[in-house]
Amino acid sequence: MKNVPLAIDVVEAKASRIDSVDFENLIFGNVFADHMMECDYIDGQWQNPVIKPYGPIQLDPSAKVFHYGQAIFEGMKAFKDDEDQVWLFRPKANIERFNKSSVRLAIPEFPEDLFLEGLETLLDMDRDWVKKGFGNSLYIRPFVIATERGVSASPSKTYKFMIICSPAKAYYSGEVRVFFADKFSRAADGGVGYAKAAGNYGAQFYPTNLAKEEGYQQIVWTDANSHEYLEEAGTMNIFFRIGDKLITAPTSDRILDGVTRRSVLKLAEEFGIEAEVRRVKVSEVVDAASKGELKEIFGSGTAATINPVRGFGNKGEKFELPQLEDSYAAFFKKKLMEIQYNKAEDKFGWRHLVKRS
């Protein structure tokens, strides 16, 4: 979308809360930076963008987000290099996907230029919340919710766009094991699986809780029709290494087009690692594991970056994966983080500098 001539109002917090935060013992998504961005869609246009102190918002009990689930979000991160410069990683890709999700949920697209300007202003104000060092970042959560009063089953006429930020360390701690879904489904053909719709995640919680009772941290979802093909994990795209070949499922209207996933595939191409994007059968992965040919499974996503999987379960069988010194997971994570933290050349133009005001 083209730029709109909207000036962003800025209201600074009277005092920062940063000194009360223990940055060495963060729980993901529980602590938030001093400021947030807010903008409302009223009378057919986005208006009144403001950056103000982080705090509660007020909504009518009949706001349509509560009744019909019109809500989408994105996940992004900011990183700080050794020179105290703050960087975003491929922000335009996230903004494009944000608006793609909006269209699918009948939400008005948000102007890309205003999105990026607001985000840069917000990060410049709260740059002290972005800590140096590999693994440290500021997680960024842009979202839109439907705010119109009324319980008629129709798209809202008003919306609220917001960006909130949370200092983060590793998303997962400890070893991760996954369960291959054989009953429940995440998404179906023609649905909203490719969108970052809030309801996609809410619908996962029950089957994921069942998997956790069996000792698994995540589910790898399969196709809704036959449960024969592996698609993506609960919060990550998923990769399989069989021999020295990397395999991942193609994106579709069921699978999220992950920015980290795209980056891994580009890096694989750059460094001569054979990668196939194709449908992956459960039976293929089980067979490879049984023969000792399945070397790795790892997930990719903004929150987790690259997360190795130690084992998986399928129809009552459990499989453990070898621990490799030269794992692809470690290789890709290192390469990505070197770019994100400005420690390596960025051949692809993925880094975006947050300028100081």
The answer to whether the CB of 279 falls within 8 A of the CB of 250 is yes
Q: What is the mean pLDDT of residues 327-345?
A: 97
188 and 237, same structural domain?
A: yes
Give the number of domains in the chain. Answer: 2
In this structure, the dihedral spanned by the alpha carbons of residues 69, 153, 193 and 92, taken in order and rounded to 10 degrees, is -70
Q: What is the pLDDT of residues 217-243, one digit of tens each?
A: 999 999 999 999 999 998 899 999 999
- 122 domain residue, yes or no: yes
| Alpha helices in 236-310, H assignment, sequence order | 259-270, 282-290
Nearest to 222 by CA among 211, 230, 214, 210: 230
All residues at 6 or more sequence positions from 342 whose CB lies less than 8 Å from its CB, including other chains: 79, 81, 82, 83, 85, 87, 351
The answer to whether the CB of 143 falls within 8 A of the CB of 71 is yes
Which of 168, 203, 225 represents a domain boundary (last residue)?
168
281 and 223, same structural domain?
A: yes
- 3 domain residue, yes or no: no
* Tokens encoding 102: 């909006």
Q: How many residues are given for the chain?
A: 357
Q: What is the mean pLDDT of residues 301-309?
A: 92
Give bridge partners of residue 64 from the DSSP assignment.
none
85 and 20, same structural domain?
A: yes
The answer to whether the CB of 180 falls within 8 A of the CB of 196 is no
CA-to-CA distance for 291 and 285, rounded, in angstroms?
10
pLDDT category of residue 2 using cuts at 50, 70 and 90: very low
pLDDT category of residue 256 using cuts at 50, 70 and 90: very high
Handedness of CA 100, 356, 56, 62 (dihedral sign): negative
Q: Residue 74 is part of a domain; what is its CATH number?
A: 3.30.470.10
Q: Give the Cα-Cα-Cα angle 86, 89, 93 (nearest 5 degrees).
A: 140
Domain span at 228: 177-339
Q: What pTM value is reported for the model?
A: 0.95
* Tokens encoding 268: 């694989």
| Residue at 132: amino acid letter | K
